[in-house]
Amino acid sequence: MRVAEYIEKLKPYEGGKPIDELKRQLNIEGEIIKLASNENPFGPSEKAVEAIKKTAAGVNYYPDGDSYYLKHKLADRLGVNPDNIIFGNGSDELIELIYRTFATSYDDEIVYCYPTFVEYKIIGLSFGKKLVELPLKDFSYDIDAILEHITDRTRLVFLNTPNNPTGTKIDRSDIERVIDKCSNDTLVVIDEAYYEYAILEDDYSELLDLYKKGNVIILRTFSKAYGLAGLRIGYGVAHPEIINYLNRVRPPFNVNIVAQNAALAALDDIEHVKKTVLDAKKQKEYLYTEFDKIGIKYVKSYANFVLFDVGQDADEIYRKLLQKGIIVRSMSGYGLKSFLRVSVGLDYQNRRFIEALKDILNV
């Protein structure tokens, strides 16, 4: 089969290894702990689970393609208008829709720093786009480098804050510098998938109102703090003109009815989100303390994961952790050869992870 050269060169997205796959491969007894995809270790809200059960009997009907009730409730919560919001089958899908809608010419350029959320790259490559990929500076987005590389061919700028996989934030003033440098024909995509964790920190500023600048979209998701990753639902907030264009390209029933109703119910369970993010903060402190004790360097994170440096081949440590039933992520594929990323789990999961790591490192 003939495919374009840029498709030939693509490598499929590699997510965190699913628990069942590891069970099959290694025949491991006992509980497998997955700390690899920044999911909510408490699971979804009980209210969401109830809504999912209730919705099941009605799945013979197509979903509301406009997500009317969810859109109105979320708009109320965020203090924006419903026409400022679009939902996607995960924020992943919104990234793809953004490319399809706003980066349609052969010579369009896309600017971001790397390592970052790898879908900006994979989707861009799948459309054959010119990717202007700049290195992070001290594990953070290098805003001066981004500003230097914005040209009249730049169509999209991705800013990931907190950045996956490093956990670092981008200051609001730096984001404003980027927005102000971009013309009205360049969309600045602020990906805040980990917003609910980050906003707990004193020095993390609200960014949502930046959508009013007109050339900005803010992406968030129900996959992380809301615990609905398996249902695939995320959202974007932007000027109605941006939303309107995206809606022309969006598949009509991209967000299923179970996801819509679960997200509606999850929005009602503020306590669940609060418990999730407060515990993640506490558990992160535990990981920092243990890393300090064993002399492991790490990057302070505004999200629910921590990037750490084992000072040796990360793939090998990753494989040894798998043997002990613990799934994390090796960052060697991102060029960080001695780094791994661990998602913050429940107390006993983090303890098991630390014990296993100490055992492997002989410390």
Ligand X SMILES: Cc1ncc(COP(=O)(O)O)c(C=O)c1O
- Which residues here bind ligand X, judged by CB under 6 A? 38, 90-92, 117, 160, 164, 191, 193, 221, 223, 229, 234
Q: d(Cα 191, Cα 281) in Å, to the nearest integer? A: 20
Dihedral angle, C-alpha 224, 225, 229, 232, nearest 10 °: -90
Closer residue to ligand X (CB): 189 or 210: 189
Task: Classify burial at 332, counting beta carbons within 10 Å of its beta carbon; exposed 0-12, middle 13-18, buried 19 or more.
Answer: middle
Given the complex with ligand X, which of 160 and 215 has the nearer CB atom? 160
Distance CA 287, CA 205 (A): 25
Report strand pairing: 187-191 vs 154-160. parallel
- Whose tokens are 């010419």? That residue is 105
- Tell me how far, at minimum, the Cβ of 83 lies from ligand X, in Å: 21
Q: Which residue is nearest to ligand X (CB)?
A: 90
CB–CB of 288/295 below 8 Å? no
Tokens in use for 12? Answer: 């499929």
Q: Do 268 and 222 form a contact (C-beta atoms < 8 A)?
A: no
d(CA 50, CA 66): 23
Instruction: State the nearest-atom distance from the C-beta of 255 to ligand X, in Å.
Output: 11
**Whole-angstrom Cα distance, residue 128 to residue 103?**
10
**Nearest distance in Å: CB 220, ligand X:** 8
Residue with Cβ nearer ligand X (99 or 117): 117
Closer to ligand X by Cβ: residue 84 or 160: 160
Q: In angstroms, rounded to a whole number, what is the distance separating the alpha carbons of residues 264 and 87?
A: 13
Cβ-based nearer residue to ligand X, 38 or 84: 38
Q: How far is the CB of 36 from ligand X (least distance, A)?
A: 10
> Measuring CA to CA, how many Å separate 194 from each of 24, 234, 280, 338?
31, 12, 12, 24
Distance, CA of 148 to CA of 47 (rounded, Å) = 48
**Min separation Cβ 218 and ligand X, Å:** 12
Q: How far is the CB of 286 from ligand X (least distance, A)?
A: 22
Report the nearest approach of ligand X to the CB of residue 76 (Å).
21
- Of residues 108 and 191, the one with the C-beta less far from ligand X: 191
CB of 307 to ligand X, least distance (A): 13
Helices (H), the chain: 5-8, 19-26, 46-56, 68-78, 90-102, 119-126, 143-149, 172-181, 195-198, 240-249, 257-268, 270-293, 314-323, 347-361
- Least Cβ distance, residue 334 to ligand X (angstroms): 13
Q: Which residues contact 65 (CB under 8 A, 6 or more apart)?
A: 252, 253, 254
d(Cα 20, Cα 233) in Å, to the nearest integer?
A: 23
The DSSP symbol for 62 reads P
Helix (H, G, I), strand (E, B) or coil at 34: strand
